[in-house]
Amino acid sequence: MSRIGKQKIEISPSTEVTVVENNVTVKGSLGQLSRTFGSKIVIKKEGNEITLVPANDDSETSGLWGTYAREITNMISGVNKPFERKLIVEGIGYKSEVKGNELVLDLGFSHDVKVQIPQGIKVTAEKNLITISGIDKDLVGQVAAKIRMQKKPEPYKGKGIRYSEEIIKRKQGKKTV
C-alpha cells in the first residue's frame, strides 16, 4: 500500500485539470502540462480532488501508485509556481553565459562547451551561479543534470559544477616526505 498514492490530490482554484482515460492535462497561470499514464492505475477526478486506484494488486502496480500521484502533484504545483534548480560553477577561469537558446560554458577545456536549452526552460547565468527554472519538474532536473555532467566537481580542489545544496567532501592530496 502506498501512503502517497492513497491520499487525495487537492486541485487549487486557479488550476484546471482534465482527465480523459489515463491522459491528464493541467492548465494554470504559467502554462499547460499534459502526460499519459499507464493503465495499471485508474485516475479519477471528483470535484476538486483527484484519486488514484490500482487496477490490480501486484508489486509493480503498488510501486507506480505513489509515483503517479507525485507526478500529478508536481504538474499541479508546476503550472502555478515554477520549479528551480541552482548550479554553482567553481574554478579559476570557469565562466558561464547564455547566448540565445544555448548555455556556453568555459570549463578549462581547449574549447567552449555548448548546452542546448530546451523549449519551456529558462536559464540565467550570473558570475558563478546558473539558475534553471520551468514548470516541468522532470525537465528542469534533466537540464540541471546535463549541465552538471559537463564538469563534475572533483574532491581535491573542489573545481567543477555542483548543485547549490550539494556538499563536496574535500580529500587531502599526497603528502610529501
Q: Which three cell numbers stand for residue 28?
A: 494554470
- Report helix, strand or coil for 62: helix
Alpha carbon distance 28, 57 (integer Å): 34
Domain co-membership, 95 together with 157: yes
Divide the 177 residues of the chain into consecutive groups of 10 and give the mean pLDDT of each group.
84 93 93 93 92 88 90 95 96 94 94 95 94 96 97 92 93 81
**Looking at residue 125, what is its pLDDT?**
96
Q: Is residue 144 within 8 Å of residue 87, measured between CB atoms?
A: yes
**Looking at residue 119, what is its pLDDT?**
94
Burial tier of 33 (Cβ tally within 10 Å: 0-12, 13-18, 19+): buried
**Looking at residue 82, what is its pLDDT?**
96
Alpha carbon distance 27, 11 (integer Å): 11
Which of 61, 78, 95 corresponds to the end of one domain? 78
Instruction: State which amino acid sits at residue 164.
Output: S
Domain co-membership, 143 together with 115: yes
- Report helix, strand or coil for 172: coil
Question: Domain for residue 172, yes or no?
Answer: no
**Looking at residue 21, what is its pLDDT?**
87
**Looking at residue 1, what is its pLDDT?**
63
> Which among 86, 88, 71 is positioned nearest to 137, based on CA atoms?
71
Q: Which three cell numbers stand for residue 155?
A: 574532491
Question: Domain for residue 177, yes or no?
Answer: no
Q: What is the pTM of this model?
A: 0.89
